[in-house]
Every structure is written in structure tokens, then in C-alpha cells.
Structure 1
């Protein structure tokens, strides 16, 4: 049986700019950056600062695939399913994201179950930052 999720893949256009976005603007930690052959793709993963057992794979389809497969995968950049992230202080995270110049889809929302904030990465993929009510 499936016991846990270890990685989620985000398609990116440029390895370096994606790595910089996740580490410098979102505060993720680089876990892996390994070349997969001479002049070829890189295996790049980042983790949220407080969760080293879960990795986001920054995957550049133009370096991994060729021809039609590369074209089709690259067309998915910025159109991927929303990833949900957890916050323990959504107001502080909101201020930090604003200060870092991250694109926000509005402000913090109060909802029956807690609070959330939607932001986008540099390619337009959406992320939902949530803080559940305590107790």
C-alpha cells in the first residue's frame, strides 16, 4: 500500500531562476542538485524549511525530453494543479511574500476552517498557503 508522498514535481522553464525563487523568495532549502549526465538535465529538489522529508522537484522539461514530448510538457508550465502549503503564521508569511515580490492573488482570507492566501510562482503556478484554526 502507499504509505506517504515524498515528492511533487513542478515544471519550470529555467533551473537557476526556479531554484532562486524557491530558496530566496519562499525560504525553501535546496536538498538536491545533481547533474544527470554531461550537458543534460539536473535533478533539483527543494524542501520547506520545516519538512525535510517532502521534496518539490524543479523539473525543466526542455532538458529532460525531446521533440513533441518536450513541447507538450513545456505547455503545462504555469498550468499545474495547485499545491497546498501550511503556515504557522500566515500574517508574517504574507508580509514576507510581499517583501520578496511574490505575486499574490489578493490578501489573507478568513474562512470557516482557518485562513489562507493564494500566491503564484514565477511561471504562474498557484499555491495555497493555509493556516488552520487552533483547537
Structure 2
């Protein structure tokens, strides 16, 4: 079942500026900063100093998306956040969400760091359900 909130995604225009703001201005700790493949977009997370198990993902949509999707996402900078939820059994959660009529986007995906799926609430907000390795 869904256990807790682990990440909140914040769209940013520039990863380095955002990282500097969160760490220098707010005192957050950098948890990760890595490329998602050679020359790919970066995965950057920061956490409040007293809550290392909760991370804010600093996400530049222009490096992750292309074309109209990039334009639409970039227009949401300052207005959009995605909630990432943790699962202890993503297959069971996938079945339960589907049975409940939740709009699940595609099957469970196997990724280098674990497994995930994306679903939407009734207003179209996206949520990423993750089962880490």
C-alpha cells in the first residue's frame, strides 16, 4: 500500500540557480545531483536539514521534455508540483488503482532505481508511485 510522501517536484528554469537558492538561501541539503544517462537531464534533489527522508526534486522541464510538452510544462513553472508516493508492493497497488477506476498511465515500469507507475487524480494532477529497489 501507499506508505508516505517521499518527493515533491518543483519545475525550475535553471537547475544550478535553483540548487544554489535552496542550499544557500534556505539551508537545504543537496541529496542527489546526477545525470539520467549520458548528456541527459539531471536528477537533483534537496531536503530540509531536519528531514532527509523528504526531498524536493528540482526539475527543469526544458531538459526532460520536447516540443509542445516542454512548452506546456515550462509555462507551469511557479505553479505546478508533482507528488511522488512510496509503495511497498507496486503490482498490488497497480491492481487496486485500476480496480478503483483511477486513470493509470501505462503499465508498471522497470527502471534502474526501481519500479514506478504514474496515475492522475480527478483534476488531472499527476502522481508518481515508486517502489525502490
Give the TM bin, normalised by the shorter chain: 0.5 to 0.7
Query: Is 1:13 paired with 2:42?
Result: no
3-state SS in 2 of match to 1:53: coil
3-state SS in 2 of match to 1:6: strand
3-state SS in 1 of match to 2:31: strand
Per-residue CA deviation, residues 81-133 of structure 1 (Å, 9 max, x unaligned), is 6xxxxxxxxxxxxxxxxxxxxxxxxxxxxxxxxxxxxxxxxxxxxxxxxxxxx
Task: Indicate the structure whose relative CO is greater, using CA pairs within 8 Å and at least 6 residues apart.
Answer: 2
- Give the corresponding residue for 2:35: 35
CA distance in 2, matches of 1:80, 1:43: 17
Q: Normalising by structure 1, what TM-score?
A: 0.58
Distance apart, 1:38 and its partner CA: 2.2
Q: Normalising by structure 2, what TM-score?
A: 0.59
3-state SS in 2 of match to 1:31: strand
Per-residue CA deviation, residues 6-61 of structure 1 (Å, 9 max, x unaligned), is 00000000010000000000000000001112222000000000001000000000
CA distance in 2, matches of 1:16, 1:73: 19
Tell me which protein shows more strand as a share of its residues. Answer: 2
> In the TM superposition, what are the counterparts of 1:68-83 in structure 2 within 5 Å?
68-80=68-80
- Report the count of equivalent residues: 81
Gaps of 5+ in 2: 82-133
> In the TM superposition, what are the counterparts of 1:27-106 in structure 2 within 5 Å?
27-80=27-80
Q: Which runs of 4+ in 1 moved over 6 A?
A: none
Query: Is 1:3 paired with 2:3?
Result: yes
| RMSD between superposed Cα atoms in Å | 1.0
Deviates more, 1:37-46 or 1:20-29: 37-46
